[in-house]
Chains A and B, each alone.
Chain A
């Protein structure tokens, strides 16, 4: 008996030795007033922007220690959901980055856990379409960060071979896109775009350009059956597939490979893809960006849309005032700071006063000298404002299945009605 007891004690000692070592490291995390933590993803974009903000803030407020922790986006969602739903704030950061599509589900499910930011920044200074997803009942909870403003990245050399110039593609609709696509395919043998059948980003961009979404304005009722924009978007999607313009892919790495290896002539997506496009240096000068195509026959549809984009949120834990002040003085009002992040990482914020700065007006040689930042900033202001609501991705899972059924020959109205029924049952 003694022996076993001794063995147990040794094991427990070992356990304690392990844990005490780590708890010493983290004892600084007791959130004394001069340290705040931030969770974000992507080292080249969000993390870098945060680091620059830290530098900008430090010169005036040297006392605040800002600790930036990198986590994958899915991991952040998992951690937040577990912590918030168990009501445990221990270990939560002060500032967290959340994608706009998901923001409402967090804000509405855990209303007490987020710190209100109303009044710490002027919401009129930001692109209006970012305000709805970041606020609840007219109160601001999120500080808008990057725009997911989308554009159509095009290979000018392929277009030339098919007898087109960039001018032909300006402010066109998807009908024209398909027409051009067929010619390009004929002349070069290249597909127009890659598409992952489970990722309906393309549909999302199409419907937002018409000010429509999967959900009605209340953010809760599915808006699928009888949604004119969605219907036209699906018809267009099928036409693109039928015209054999799509190179099918199944994941992100193939998406990147599609344009890096020159397999596709265009990439309709958010501006955050710019660094990935520029990663293939051998294609310098062969790219241009034109305005996002609009939906044919839908009068509300404009030549501007959005894909992704995220905003900063302050959690209701000790240190929230410091965190809010930090955000307000950097991302919330600092024009100079926006020029810096633009120059350093190509990040385009949604802070309107920054658009006049010199960095926004600079040309990019990779894109043949085009002032892509200025173009994106101009399109940003035209993006229709919508409420992304609570269930964007839940509904997209349902729609992806029905989209396949539609492509295989199911009647479109029936497919959307079925999707509506499933969605209503699921999000009730």
Chain B
């Protein structure tokens, strides 16, 4: 009994702590900037005013569209590539396999800050021959993030629990290797794909440093960059900033909520 009381008390406190910033963001979006800085914790009546100020000062909708285009493309491409790679690593046997995989994991250890300048140089020189994937294009934002060692690792781990006998059955029934992947593996691993989709979409939606560096023109701005611009002033309007953040959070939150069930299942392993 006492143990239960303690665990409930602990969980309640933890829930409040993790939920508070979110709540504060929503409350602040309904208050005037001065009240936000004073730390007002009651909902106000300035949401619509903040919203109209926001729409007046920045091009919110194009930035949302840019973010959506980048995130959706990144998610589709990286899911396809990473799942194929993870599948390949687990299903097919080769002596070099483990070495290649370890090498891949090693690339996870390099911080992005160290890769940024060389990457930028690369895209800088691509710009001269193929400007459509060079600096200041969405392709330049998407391409470096479509294959992440983490996702490949994630898919390989999940594939470990995939019953390989089904593949044998498929092969006997005349499926090609690619057919096995698309007709058997993909439908079975739906939950893994959902979890991976959420992770990738969120990372891409919130990604800041690389888009900041590589996107130069305001027309290409993504949502996090736009919010950063809102804070560029000597006396920023915090109410407007909070409103922008609320709007930026909505799509990611929405996707998370509709896929939540699959996400949890996917994180625990898709095949039971």
Contacts and interface: CB of A to CB of B under 8 A. Distances in A.
A16 B77 CA distance: 13
Given A78-B212, A254-B37, A280-B34, A86 B117 contact: yes
Nearest to A1: B178
B216 A91 contact: yes
A26 B219 contact: yes
Interface string B121-152: 10011010001111111111010000000000
Contacts of A29: 136, 216-217
B220 A25 contact: yes
Nearest to B229: A70
Contacts of B229: 70-72, 75
A42 B231 CA distance: 8
B69 interface: yes
Contacts of B121: 86-88
Contact of A69 (B57, B70, B217, B233): B217
A18 B138 contact: yes
Contact of B137 (A19, A45, A261): A19
B178 A15 contact: no
Nearest to A275: B235
29 contacts: A1-B176, A3-B178, A4-B182, A8-B80, A15-B142, A18-B70, A18-B73, A18-B139, A18-B142, A20-B132, A22-B66, A22-B219, A23-B131, A25-B219, A26-B136, A29-B216, A42-B234, A71-B232, A73-B232, A75-B228, A86-B117, A88-B135, A90-B135, A91-B216, A253-B236, A253-B238, A257-B34, A257-B39, A279-B34
Contacts of A79: 212-213, 216
Contact of A257 (B37, B117, B217, B231): B37
Interface in B207-258: 209, 212-213, 216-220, 225, 228-229, 231-236, 238
Nearest to B118: A86
Contacts of B34: 257, 260-261, 279-280
A323 B261 CA distance: 57
Contact of A26 (B38, B217, B231): B217
B76 interface: yes
Contact of A14 (B73, B137, B232): B73
A276 interface: yes
Given A4-B178, A23-B131, A23-B137, A83 B120 contact: yes
B234 A276 contact: yes
B169 interface: no
Contacts of A23: 131-132, 136-137
A7 interface: yes
B226 to A, nearest CB: 10
Interface in A232-258: 252-254, 256-257
Contacts of A78: 209, 212-213
B167 interface: no
A26 B137 CA distance: 9
Nearest to B177: A1
Given A15-B73, A86-B120, A261-B38, A26 B235 contact: no
A355 B42 CA distance: 47
A25 B138 contact: no
A261 B33 CA distance: 12
A280 B34 CA distance: 8
A19 B138 contact: yes
Interface string B60-89: 000000100110010011001000100000
Nearest to A74: B228
B16 to A, nearest CB: 21
Contacts of A254: 37
A16 B137 CA distance: 10
Contacts of B131: 23, 27
B218 A69 contact: yes
In this complex, the member of B134, B139, B233 whose beta carbon has the largest number of chain A beta carbons within 10 angstroms is B233
A43 B233 contact: yes
B235 A276 contact: yes
A34 interface: no
A22 B70 contact: no
Interface in A1-48: 1, 3-4, 7-8, 11, 14-16, 18-23, 25-27, 29, 41-45
A43 B233 CA distance: 6
Given A85-B117, A257-B38, A26 B220 contact: yes
A144 B52 CA distance: 36
A68 to B, nearest CB: 10
Contacts of B116: 82
B197 interface: no
Contacts of A41: 232-233
A69 B73 CA distance: 27
B36 interface: yes
A72 B229 CA distance: 5
A9 to B, nearest CB: 12
A18 B134 CA distance: 13
A25 B217 contact: yes
Interface string A254-297: 10110011000000000011011001100000000000000000
A3 B84 CA distance: 13
A43 to B, nearest CB: 6
B197 to A, nearest CB: 15
Contacts of A1: 176, 178
Given A19-B139, A88-B135, A90-B136, 15 more contacts: A15-B142, A22-B138, A23-B136, A42-B232, A43-B232, A69-B216, A70-B232, A72-B228, A73-B232, A75-B212, A79-B213, A86-B117, A88-B124, A253-B236, A257-B38
A91 B136 contact: yes
